Structure 1
């Protein structure tokens, strides 16, 4: 997500324009989340009907390719954002949401729906609290984001290695997996708060350019959706077993 050098204004909660921008971003995020959930459900039903599909969706090659697709997608759209239309940014947002729905379909196919629902609402509560913190804090979270990002990247790399070395699996439920997921949860918590704070900077950097502001809002929604999905997945690793 692009950053601007404007200072974070602690009085921002009283700024009607900022509040409208943030609400618009969360509205886009909620719509994209509905797309993710819908795609996850229907792909999950297809997996239940034909279990052989699970191997096509969940394998190391797909996992690694998905990581690079996401990184490339966000990087490319972030660079081209000024010249893109709002429709193009929304297409990226909802296309990304659908793509993540395919990756999340195992939760719909293989897990107890009550556990999934419980952890979803747990994620909503945690994500909301962290976003509120990022919105209201006067502390510049840039001071810690590089450590959080490094820790989360390490978690992702270990996750890939764990697909080939079972002892290093982050989904196995052992002590190693629990420690790695707790570290990752702390990292994604910091990233979520930082992204919310960064949205404030983005707002102040785009005041006077309503068209750009709408595109930044949609792009920010995609970034927040990715943080939410990562948080949900980590909580499923920790608490998703019956």
Structure 2
């Protein structure tokens, strides 16, 4: 009886250690991808500041719509082909996506924003993201029951943001009561999505517990999803608190 209990405890400890290793690998990939985003954002921002790249080339409604479609279809296509892709292919997607987001985030590396405020909100995002990830890791509540509503709310926010580029009164960046309400709703939605992402990664680990190759690919793909959530959270917090 005692031997059986000891075996169960040992097996549970090994499973927990494996899960922690899997999640740490995922967040390590995310950190590396975030570094790529930051470097690309900096150099693209410098190119914009020096007039090498016209700011209107990156920040216009057509580019915004195209970027949205690229992200949606890119994640969808890679997600479907993940089992047949190589580890290198998934990593190429992760770092290519990170560089792409760096171009889109380049405005934050230019003179358009106060660097002190950007840094302050970045660390605010890190703290919020970390807390939500910890909640997703520890909670026993199945977030799948509510995340579909969070996704719907966030998609509504994105669509309003796109419409706001053509109708300034509906802009999520313009401030005012409407903009504040929309951004608060979006922040709540991305908070739920972030916590769910971590909880989902736990399920992924158990689903592919005996498939090291698939686990490695899911780490890279999960890192891309987490990076997207982090960047969305940062942008929303900038909309709410980034104005001087």
Q: TM class, shorter-chain normalised?
A: over 0.9
Deviation at 1:173, TM superposition (A): 1.1
* Contact 2:47 2:53 survives alignment (8 Å): no
Going from structure 1 to structure 2, the CA distance change for 1:231 and 1:71 (only over 3 Å counts) comes to same
Larger Rg: 2
Aligned residues: CA RMSD: 1.4
The question of whether the paired residues in 2 share the 8 Å contact of 1:181 and 1:237 is answered with yes
Instruction: State the 1:13 CA deviation.
Output: 11
Query: CA offset at residue 53 of structure 1?
Result: 1.2
Q: After superposition, what is the alpha-carbon deviation per residue over 1:149-181, rounded to whole angstroms, capped at 9, x for unaligned?
A: 110000001001100111101000111100000
Aligned to 1:24: 25
2:207 aligns with: 205
Q: Count residues in correspondence.
A: 232
CA contact (8 A) 1:40 1:108 kept: yes
Asked if 1:149 is matched to 2:151, the reply is yes
**Aligned mates of 2:120, 2:218 — CA distance in 1:** 32
Choose between structure 1 and 2 for higher RCO, CA contacts under 8 A separated by at least 6 residues. Answer: 1
Q: State whether residues 13 and 136 of structure 1, in contact with CA within 8 Å, keep that contact through their aligned partners in structure 2.
A: no
String of CA shifts for 1:162-216, please: whole Å, max 9, x gaps: 0011110100011110000000000000000001100000000000110110000
In the alignment, which residue of structure 1 is the partner of 2:86? 85
When normalised by structure 1's length, the TM-score is: 0.94
Q: Distance in 1 between matches of 2:124 and 2:72?
A: 27
- Report whether the alignment pairs 1:129 with 2:148: no
> Residues 6-43 of structure 1, C-alpha deviation per residue, up to 9 Å, x if partnerless?
xxxxx899700000000000000000000000000000
The alignment's TM-score, normalised by the length of structure 2, stands at: 0.93
Partner of 1:7: none
Give structure 1 regions of 4+ aligned residues with deviation exceeding 3 angstroms: 11-14
CA contact (8 A) 2:41 2:102 kept: yes
For residue 15 of structure 1, give the secondary structure of its aligned residue in structure 2: helix
Partner of 2:106: 105
- State the distance in 1 between where 2:171 and 2:13 align: 43
Consecutive unaligned residues of structure 1, counting only runs of 5 or more, are 1-10
